[in-house]
Amino acid sequence: MRRAASSPLSSAVRRGKFHSSSPSSKEIEVFIDGKAVQVEEGSAIIQAAEKAGVTIPRFCYHERLGVAGNCRMCLVEIEKNPKMAASCAMPVAPGMRVITESAKIKQAREGVMEFLLANHPLDCPICDQGGECDLQDQSMRYGADRGRFGEAKRAVEDKDIGPLVKTTMTRCIQCTRCVRFINEVAGTGELGTTGRGNDMQIGTYVARPLASELSGNIIDLCPVGALTAKPSAFAARPWELTSTESVDVMDALGSAIRVDSRGAEVIRIVPRTNDLVNEEWLGDKARFAYDGLKRQRLTVPLVRVGGRLEPASWADALQLVGRRLRATPPADVAAVAGDLADAESLVALKDLINAAGSERLGVDSPIGDGLPADVRAGYTFGATLAGVEDADAVLLVATNPRREAPVLNARLRKPYLAGSAVFGVVGDAADLTFDYDHVGSSLGAVDALRTGDSAFARALRAAKRPLVIVGAGAAEQRGGGAVLAAVARLAAAVPALLTPEWNGLCVLQNAAGRTAALDIGYSGGSADASSAQFVYLLGADRAAANLSPSAFVVFQGHHGDAGALAADVVLPGLAYTEKSATFVNTEGRVQRTRQAVAAPGAARPDWQIIRALSDSAGLPLAYDDVAALRARMADVCPALVNPDVLEPTSAEVARLGVAQMAKNGGRDAGGALSLSSVIADYYMSDPISRASRTMAKASAMAKGISGQQCSPSIEMSSSSS
């Protein structure tokens, strides 16, 4: 696949300028305001100052973006240099002496602020950036007490770039952070600058919305109020909000987030920095789907009476479920774990179903082979999320990371921009924001790589750090085990894939609750709930379509989706912003959410519902509080009680995972095996986003953009299966 040329603004990143992190980098000594500091050779002065604990003001500079050097706010003096230099664009030299505070620098900063404010509107009372605005803060600290410009301020027309980002371009100071992010990190290249001098503007080259799944990050990057969140416009001021650190569950990465709430309502969700997981980026679904938390919610227990779901008390609903569970033979009892189920409720449900005499525990997937759950290396992301940046050959099998994990897709762009990795895809040809060889669309293309003579096949076998990413959804279909078996055969032909130093076999989960379910002992498939007579759906919606009409169905969850419509009894649980719960991301990292807002109506924590049900069923569980439950979790899987700890996988264990994958092969796919991504619509993939009006608008926008693209801008390679 070939893409249009990248923006010139990407050149600094591709060259690695000022951002060297090689272990062999030489360190040199420089002096910042007389203080000696050791920094890597090639670092910028502004980076050396940060290491020395000295803050230099900036607008255009950002440590994760290429260098622009156009705001001039970071000017410093260098000893023996007649002119001041932009500290973001000037590399350090051995023995360099830098002055960051002087009368000359103070005057220069005041001049820069005066120019920036000359055309800036007096919007602070109505600007959503107020209270968090870099321009406000720096004008107070570094600006003068008056300006000398009396001319009329420049006005710029606002741009419509979609339902997520609101533009007020009169406030723009042309720092180009948004342009560099869209070009370098997101990779869609829609933003740029037009005009020169006083006529310079930032916008899309043609009138169209942004098509990136990471577009909301330009709101955080904007140092003024030119780009703000459209869904939360004029909703609150920052000082009115209560902030809670938590973890995102909209995909399986477990991105670090901060939930800002006022009272019982979530006002916004923004990313937190976690270099090991999401750096400081966040997908648009995770950022903007929060309005779905207050729509289509289940707030009271419901019992089906005469074909209709009617409100009931907790006691009546639990007693009914308990009686039906006791009356059902153990062989006919099954439980299905949904995509957003937390580890506490998964352990409690497993204990309850086991106490009832059944072992039929599965995950919410179509009737398929499922992932092997015996060895953790067979269903986790072995190389770690940060480790993908070290790969030199990457093969994507039956996955579209841009839809399934857009932040991971941005990480994959790093070795692409650096020119250190080649990419291949087996599955649908799609715009992944980086060039790749489309190896094929059938399973035979994976086997062809073992002995094939294509350029990518040779590169994969010769790579020192090859990476194979398999979409977990590939195994969640009839015959899906054949995909895993083909990958296992490929692993045997690429020795560098599994070594003591490198685990390049990665399964990309697409659901936040999936890894924990497999850790706890749920089968990787649906546990064939279609033949059970008592089915407990823990937030599971897809499985509802395959249940027996005679089955007694219990649905426990927080949204009235497909599972609730098929249920005989509905028990209202809590969403991730309303509880403190444990999740395990796709790489096996244990993380915990924290309660940010109160539970709506009569909804209760999920594990407490199951604990109360166990009493009604005459099968009381042996824990009454979270501490005791987590002690039980430690017995089931010790890793579940070690938050933010990622246990390394040895090469021997990784090979056991490959062996488990190989055992799943050989089943008949009926000629219908698909290698497409299981997520067809990024914006509508879970009950929260499906209830979100904002995501509905974004989904319609994305479909409109796709419909306008008459001919795809891709070119297939000559190598195919």
Three-state DSSP class for 22? coil
The parent domain of residue 403 ranges over: 376-511+649-685
Q: Is residue 143 part of a domain?
A: no
Give me the pLDDT at residue 367, please: 60
Same domain, 24 and 91: yes
Q: Is residue 251 part of a domain?
A: no
Strands 256-262 and 265-271 come out as antiparallel
User: Could you report the per-residue pLDDT of 425-478, keeping only the tens digit for each?
Assistant: 999 999 999 999 999 988 889 999 998 889 999 999 999 999 999 998 887 777
User: Could you report the per-residue pLDDT of 570-594, keeping only the tens digit for each?
Assistant: 999 999 999 999 999 999 999 999 9
Dihedral sign of CA atoms 230, 253, 266, 298 in order: positive
Does residue 19 register a pLDDT over 50?
A: no
Q: Which amino acid is at 455?
A: A
End-to-end CA distance of the chain: 16
Which two tokens mark 646?
A: 């990622």
CA distance 536 to 335: 5
User: What CATH number has the domain bearing residue 40?
Assistant: 3.10.20.740
Give me the pLDDT at residue 672, please: 56
User: Could you report the per-residue pLDDT of 284-320, keeping only the tens digit for each?
Assistant: 999 999 999 999 999 999 999 998 999 999 999 999 9
The residue from 616, 641, 666 where one domain ends is 641
User: Could you report the per-residue pLDDT of 544-572, keeping only the tens digit for each?
Assistant: 888 999 999 999 999 999 999 999 999 99
Same domain, 479 and 457: yes
The residue to which tokens 């650096």 are assigned: 418
The residue to which tokens 């994959």 are assigned: 412
Give me the pLDDT at residue 13, please: 37
Give me the pLDDT at residue 138, please: 94
Same domain, 534 and 485: no
Residue 535 near residue 551, CB atoms below 8 Å: yes
CA distance 217 to 210: 12
**DSSP assignment letter at 684:** G
Same domain, 355 and 384: no
pLDDT band at 656 (very low <50, low <70, confident <90, very high): confident
Same domain, 635 and 580: yes
What value does the mean pLDDT of the chain take? 89
CA distance 90 to 430: 39
Give me the pLDDT at residue 706, please: 66
Strands 437-440 and 256-262 come out as unpaired
Cα radius of gyration rounded to whole Å, the chain: 27
Same domain, 506 and 384: yes
User: What CATH number has the domain bearing residue 595?
Assistant: 3.40.50.740
User: Could you report the per-residue pLDDT of 130-169, keeping only the tens digit for each?
Assistant: 999 999 999 999 998 888 888 888 899 999 999 999 999 9
Secondary-structure percent of the chain, ordered helix, strand, coil, rounded to 5? 35, 20, 45
Q: Which amino acid is at 368?
A: G
Same domain, 554 and 443: no
Residue 278 near residue 255, CB atoms below 8 Å: yes
Q: Is residue 595 part of a domain?
A: yes
Give me the pLDDT at residue 509, please: 93
Same domain, 635 and 659: no
Q: Is residue 261 part of a domain?
A: no
Number of domains forming the structure of the chain: 3
Q: Is residue 292 part of a domain?
A: no
The residue from 56, 86, 101 where one domain ends is 101
Same domain, 656 and 507: yes
Q: Is residue 200 part of a domain?
A: no
What values do phi and psi take at 498, rounded to 5?
-130, 105
**DSSP assignment letter at 588:** S
Q: Is residue 710 part of a domain?
A: no
Q: Is residue 600 part of a domain?
A: yes
User: What CATH number has the domain bearing residue 668?
Assistant: 3.40.228.10
pLDDT band at 60 (very low <50, low <70, confident <90, very high): very high
Does residue 369 register a pLDDT over 70?
A: no
Same domain, 307 and 340: yes
The residue from 581, 610, 641 where one domain ends is 641
Same domain, 541 and 502: no
Strands 227-229 and 165-167 come out as antiparallel
Contacts (Cβ under 8 Å, ≥6 apart) of 558: 297, 298, 539, 572, 573, 574, 575, 578, 603, 687
Give me the pLDDT at residue 528, please: 77
Give me the pLDDT at residue 368, please: 61
Same domain, 499 and 564: no
